[in-house]
Amino acid sequence: MTSRGREAVSSQPPLTGGTNLRTFELVGVRNFVPPKQGETVMITTILAIAGTLLGALLTGLLSQRQADRTADRAADQVRHTAAVDAAAALAEAIDAHRAAMYVREEAHLSGEDWDHLRDASHATRAAITAPLLRVKLLLPEIAETAERATTSTYALRDAADLDDLERAPPPGPRRRRAA
């Protein structure tokens, strides 16, 4: 390049981001002093850094929100599984106790020796307690129904005769004795 070209470049006024005083006068801004070249770069840098920080903050907040939702869904799934397991365990325990009570009361009402069946019915009755408590804690909306099912199973003991016992058969297969 010639020295003349360098002079032409160096004699031009510094750029101020594509704006000049005339531009601001056209849009109605008076007494505006455009920033100097160094100030423009600093303002641009500050805005870029602020934008980057705000973007990182927003990304972090959105990531945390997504992680919280995922954790909530996992906790809901665990609660659901525990509730289903509790209800299934209670149904199984009630069924076992009802069957034991049916056999015991059938022997008692038939005049047979039923003392040896008492231990089995006591064991199955005790097995109802923990699942019933779990259902009451995990599924309060069906706690009353679970309590009624348990109480009706206990009521087999109050059967007056074999006909009463027949009206409340066990939910599982019947264990009829030969007469």
Residue 159 has pLDDT above 60, yes or no: yes
Whether 5 maps to a domain, the answer reads no
Q: In terms of residue numbers, what domain contains 72? A: 37-167
pTM score, two decimals?
Answer: 0.60
Fill in the DSSP letter of residue 176. Answer: P
Whether 60 maps to a domain, the answer reads yes
The whole-number pLDDT of residue 28 equals 59
Residue 86 has pLDDT above 50, yes or no: yes
Whether 48 maps to a domain, the answer reads yes
Whether 120 maps to a domain, the answer reads yes
* Burial tier of 82 (Cβ tally within 10 Å: 0-12, 13-18, 19+): middle
The whole-number pLDDT of residue 174 equals 47
Rg, Å, the chain Cα set: 42
- Name the nearest CA neighbour of 81 among 134, 132, 126, 124: 134
Over range 167-179, report the average pLDDT.
52
Whether 20 maps to a domain, the answer reads no
CA distance 117 to 144: 29
Segment among 54-58, 88-92, 104-108 with least mean pLDDT: 104-108
The whole-number pLDDT of residue 7 equals 45
Whether 144 maps to a domain, the answer reads yes
Classify 127 as helix, strand or coil: helix
Instruction: Round the average pLDDT of the chain to a whole number and report it.
Output: 81
Domain count for the chain = 1
- Name the nearest CA neighbour of 138 among 62, 69, 83, 100: 83
Whether 44 maps to a domain, the answer reads yes
